[in-house]
Amino acid sequence: MTPDQNIDNAALNWVIRMQDPSFDGWEAFELWLEANPAHADSYQAMAIADQDIAVIAAAVPQPRPALVLQPVLQPAPRRRVPRAWFGGAIAASLAVVAGYAVLETRPAPYFVETPAGVARSLVLADGTKLDLNGGTRLRLDRRAPREAVLERGEVVFTVVHDDRRPFRVGVGSASLVDVGTIFNVSRSGSLTTVAVSEGAVVFNPDREAVHLPAGRSLRAVDGLGTIVLARTSTAAVGGWRSGRLVYDGAPLDDVAADLARNTGLAIVADPAVAGRPFRGVISLNNNHTALPAGLGLLLGVKVVRQGDGWRFAAETP
């Protein structure tokens, strides 16, 4: 087997492994990408082919579906494929492409969604990793692989930087451009928040061009023309991935939205307390499906049952 074939087999192995919900080899994957420029090129080719084969397979009857690779973004976990099958799987995939080459393999933009209370991770063809929190809707496009649009929810972007092709994120009426970056973006109604853990991003490069380095955050509401900047702990950025929500003066309305996104519960704040600032750390339960005990005492509010969810209300004297 040639060195190129070894690299391709390893790349396909990563594509398959990453679709296991329990996959935890991100550091090893990043080291593998950095070890040789050919690794990233091969991974990108395998990931794109994997996605395109699934698009083609969905459009035509397949007599042997077991040999068709599922897309990287398929919600259902894929059965692990033994190494001995790699060569056959690649050959079968190429045969499908050759047989149906007339079909369009670059579809219009597609969406990745997560229900409230359910998080997931995915890796784009260039190695950029996206961690989606619950209640997220993200638009991607294979014709523009270095772009994403966050319609709602929350995503941590771990971007593989490319000076020639910066990664862009659209959110509401604004846009973000990476400058070698790990950053968290959330969208709730007309509110956009951004916090940078590593590197930097530029907010609205064609308008305000606000430069956000690591340890800085931003809040902006569509139509108001006001941008609020603040300092933030880099360790706290994306803390929801480990069940920790860290706040330094965020209004309780934001806290309620974060808890709803992470737990899947309907949680709102009454207008009387919605703007009240909160500083502290909320540790979620392991299953993220219930409110932490003592939450009302921590927030200084009354937590009232409301239908299938909860409501933050002012404490009665």
Q: Where are the domains of the chain?
A: 3-99, 116-234, 243-313
Give the pLDDT mean for 226-251: 89
| Interval 269-279: pLDDT, tens | 999 999 999 99
Q: What DSSP letter does each residue of 203-261 carry, written as one string?
A: ESTTTT-EEEETTEEEEEETTT--EEEEE--GGGTTGGGGTEEEEEEEEHHHHHHHHHH
Q: Which CATH architecture has domain 243-313?
A: 3-Layer(bab) Sandwich (3.55)
Spatial distance between the Cα atoms of 172 and 190, rounded to a whole number of angstroms: 7
Nearest residue to 78 (alpha-carbon basis) of 89, 87, 69 = 69
Tokens of 243: 């069940």
Q: Check whether 105 has a pLDDT greater than 70.
A: no
150: which strand partners? 138, 171
Tokens of 101: 């080459």
Please give the pLDDT value at position 175: 92
Q: Residue 46: how many CB atoms within 10 A of its CB?
A: 25
Q: Check whether 59 has a pLDDT greater than 50.
A: no
Judge contact between 246 and 264, C-beta under 8 A.
no
Assess whether the region 116-234 and the region 243-313 belong to the same CATH fold. Answer: no
Q: Could you tell me which residue, 83 or 260, shows the higher pLDDT?
A: 260
Spatial distance between the Cα atoms of 92 and 81, rounded to a whole number of angstroms: 14
The answer to whether domain 116-234 has CATH 2.170.130.10 is: no
Nearest residue to 12 (alpha-carbon basis) of 111, 104, 80, 103 = 80
Tokens of 303: 């937590």
Judge contact between 252 and 299, C-beta under 8 A.
yes
Query: For 279, which DSSP code?
Result: E
> pTM of the full predicted structure?
0.66
Burial (CB count <10 Å: 0-12, 13-18, 19+), residue 152:
middle
Query: For 270, which DSSP code?
Result: -
| Interval 11-38: pLDDT, tens | 888 877 776 656 677 777 777 877 887 8
Least confident of 131-135, 151-155, 287-291, 296-300: 287-291
